Amino acid sequence: MPLRVHPGVIGRRLDDCYVLIDGDGEQIYELDATGARVWELLLEGVPVAGLAARLLDEFEADAARLRADVEALVAELRDARLLVEAGSVEADAPRSPLTPSDARAPRLAQGAWLLRWCAASGDAPQLSRGDAAALDVQRRPDGSWLALAGDVHDAPRAGFLVRLLARESLAPAIEALRGAFVVLSFEAGTNTLRVWRDAIGLWPCYVVWCAEQKTLLVSSDLDVLQAQPERARGFNAALVAEFVRGRASVAQCRETFYQAIERLPGGHRLTLGRGGAAPRVERTWDLFARPLRWADDDEIATLEPTLERAVVRCIESGADSVALSGGYDSVTIALLAARARQRRAAVPLTALSLAMVGTPSDESAIQRGVAEALGMPFRVFELPALERCDDFCQRALAHSARSPVPILSMWQWAFDALLAGATDGRRVMMGTGGDEMFIVDARYAEDLLRAGDLRRLLPFVRAWLATSPLPTRRVLAELLWRAGARPLLADTLGPQLTRLLRSVLAFGRSVSPAPPALSTRPVTELLEARAAREARRDGSAYVAALRELVHGPTLMLELDQSGAWSARHGRRLCYPFFDRDLVELALRLPPEHLYRRGQMKSPLRELVARELPALPPTQRKVDFTALGCELVRRTGAAVWQALGGAPALAALGVVEREEAEAWMRAYFAGQVERPAQAWRLLSTEHWLQQRTD
């Protein structure tokens, strides 16, 4: 009887090897480069009898020796129950103790689309749209076609696909585009399907490859894919575990919280030919493909025009409002938008704001003042009296069932309420990205300490202290220890001695109880192996941080959630700070330029001070942590009790149930000061229960 991969196996590629956890979660296995390729072929549905032939096409090796090695590896995989007989009870078992519900998307919603192609059949790919606006499609008489979802900048929409399809070579033209988009193309002559995503990944695109049916599914809506009968069921336990722990790895940029559904990362292209081989995913945009060259003075002088062009591009794509807080990011966007509209004598954009009246986080006076100074209509949504808000957690978690990811922020519901209630704002420009582009990552401290450059370290630390809302002790601990000295010591002493030193330094101090650990040793080892491999790098720690920034998992999850929530209200969000041209310049700005005036975001501060001298925004970032911690602690216990603790997380093997519930009781009792950890546990458990049959 033919063999197939055990459906309970968890596997992850790490560099040139493959790490596997057996279906019982008790053993961990590591395959070398050849073994990793064998495993990938098995996932593609290649029969055991055909493995050696496929490998001989790819590797130079003695045929007899290769066949013997493959047979030995297959025997080991079978003995370990990583491979099982097709049709057996084990083979047909569910892939997870929890089965995600498939009843969330009975039909395509407005703005959603779905591509389905069985590559082994003689049929062409099928495209379905929730409405005509979801996807523009242009076809040729020979059966080839081109489709566009989203917005392309600097090109008239009318006739765009006709002009693009007429080009002799599509790839260079598509890969040079600016905007937020997904482009799909099918070439009938070569039976080749390609999917491109914009450089940053601003337009959603999810992929399912069904190896057994040789079928590819692509959609802008994760729930649409979740509802398709071809896909395998199961949550991605490893990603859930990393999320609950607060770990973020670059490998997550392709993963979602579902085992079978992947994200096509920004700046990548997927290619699938007829026949049945797995899709090939390749990077098409990489700012760090060559050694990073810092911007010179002439390039730095173009920063403001580049940022203004990014804002104008959003306006030309239909942006009619700005999400206005009291911080420099959104004020800068509002200022440049007002300037652009004045030059065109156009109707001003509307400012949309949240107000936390009566709290230390209230920025309504600044928000109103900026809107009035710029001549913008002002729409404000006042949150209910938070000191008397006994249902804060219920409000914060109310949309779990419709969210593609666990609710990331305890304040997300408030912005959702603003979008739902605003009559203006079909397309809203966001200040998201200002932190990423204009705050120097804490890991720059490692570079300065490694170089012994205390003269430059001091102003860097001072700028962080002058900007961050966190207590001085926490900022110094982050910069000088966690981001700075600890990595240096780990390189010198090794991780075990570094942990020992850390324990000695912490001796006698009161520390919060550690968050609940993963319940299974193999999953813990898998995550530690991934973290260790990602920690291996050469060169600057700061450049490594920049490399991770644009396609980092936290940003990808934020874009997934914000896009899904805003689409539900018929809104679209625009991100000027993630304009490709601006990103390519901002990430090359010398670090000292970003805090040359003694605070982070110096270029934005200088622009706002020049244009709005009488109305400076807040000098420090507004911190909602203390207020949110108080509200979650006061209102979250009832939600946690209603959930029954952590049964879903425990069923996935992410936490020991008793340990997690004891830790949460300590948090609600005020014995633990880790609000972010408590929120991740509460939010993820609620999300899993809402998304489970």
Q: What is the pLDDT of residues 231-265, one digit of tens each?
A: 777 898 888 988 998 877 666 788 899 988 999 99
Residue with tokens 């249902």: 391
Average pLDDT for 295-305: 97
Q: What percent of the chain has pLDDT over 90?
A: 41
pLDDT higher at 311 or 565? 311
Average pLDDT for 650-662: 89
Q: Which of 67-81, 401-415, 519-533 has the lowest mean pLDDT?
A: 519-533
Determine the number of helices (DSSP H) and then strands (DSSP E) in the chain.
28, 21
Between the alpha carbon of residue 304 and those of residues 308, 371, 427, 595, the distances in Å are 6, 21, 23, 16
Task: Please give, one letter per residue, the 3-state secondary structure of 45-67.
Answer: CCCHHHHHHHHHHHCCCCHHHHH
Q: If 0-12 CB within 10 Å is exposed, 13-18 middle and 19+ buried, where does residue 322 land?
A: buried
Instruction: Please write the tens of the pLDDT for every residue from 517-542.
Output: 555 555 566 666 656 555 545 579 99
Measured in residues, the chain has a length of 693
Question: What is the distance between the alpha carbons of residues 653 and 524, in angstroms, rounded to a whole number?
Answer: 10
Tell me whether strands 350-355 and 378-382 are parallel, antiparallel or unpaired.
Answer: parallel
Using the Cα atoms of residue 455, residue 457, residue 458 and residue 463 in order, give the sign of their dihedral. positive
> Residue 524: CA atoms inside 13 Å, Cβ hemisphere, count?
9
Instruction: Please write the tens of the pLDDT for every residue from 319-349.
Output: 999 999 888 999 999 999 999 988 877 788 9
Q: What is the pTM of this model?
A: 0.84
Question: What is the distance between the alpha carbons of residues 693 and 689, in angstroms, rounded to a whole number?
Answer: 8
Residue 93: what pLDDT? 44
Q: Per-residue pLDDT for 457 more than 50?
A: yes
Categorise residue 111: left if φ over 0, alpha if ψ from -120 to 50, beta otherwise: left
Q: Per-residue pLDDT for 513 more than 80?
A: no
Between the alpha carbon of residue 589 and those of residues 234, 299, 551, 584, 603, the distances in Å are 43, 9, 19, 9, 10
Three-state DSSP at 498 gives helix
Question: What is the distance between the alpha carbons of residues 682 and 664, in angstroms, rounded to a whole number?
Answer: 9
> Residue 285: CA atoms inside 13 Å, Cβ hemisphere, count?
24
End-to-end Cα separation, the chain, in angstroms: 33
Q: What is the mean pLDDT of the chain?
A: 84
Question: What is the distance between the alpha carbons of residues 254 and 553, in angstroms, rounded to a whole number?
Answer: 8
Residue with tokens 């990430």: 587
Q: Per-residue pLDDT for 134 more than 90?
A: no
Q: Per-residue pLDDT for 303 more than 70?
A: yes
Between the alpha carbon of residue 512 and those of residues 11, 241, 503, 626, the distances in Å are 33, 21, 14, 16
Q: Nearest-CA neighbor of 338 among 351, 325, 327, 329?
A: 351
Tokens of 535: 């920690």
Average pLDDT for 211-217: 89
Residue with tokens 């949460």: 664
Cα 325-394-402 angle, rounded to 5 deg: 80
Between the alpha carbon of residue 99 and those of residues 51, 54, 86, 688, the distances in Å are 32, 34, 21, 10
Residue 106: what pLDDT? 43
Could you tell me if 438 and 604 are in contact, meaning their C-beta atoms sit under 8 angstroms apart? Answer: yes
Helix %, strand %, coil % of the chain (to 5): 45, 15, 40
Average pLDDT for 148-171: 84
Residue 437: what pLDDT? 96
Residue 211: what pLDDT? 85
Could you tell me if 165 and 138 are in contact, meaning their C-beta atoms sit under 8 angstroms apart? Answer: yes
Q: Which of 58-67, 498-507, 604-613, 614-623 has the lowest mean pLDDT?
A: 498-507
Q: How confident is the model at residue 499 (pLDDT cuts 50, 70, 90)?
A: low
Residue with tokens 């939600």: 639
Question: What is the distance between the alpha carbons of residues 57 and 52, in angstroms, rounded to a whole number?
Answer: 9
Q: Per-residue pLDDT for 90 more than 70?
A: no
Q: Could you give phi then psi for residue 618, rounded to 5 degrees?
A: -60, 140
**Highest mean predicted confidence (pLDDT) among 59-68, 102-111, 420-429, 654-663:** 654-663
Q: Per-residue pLDDT for 507 more than 50?
A: no
Q: In this structure, what DSSP letter does residue 618 have?
A: -
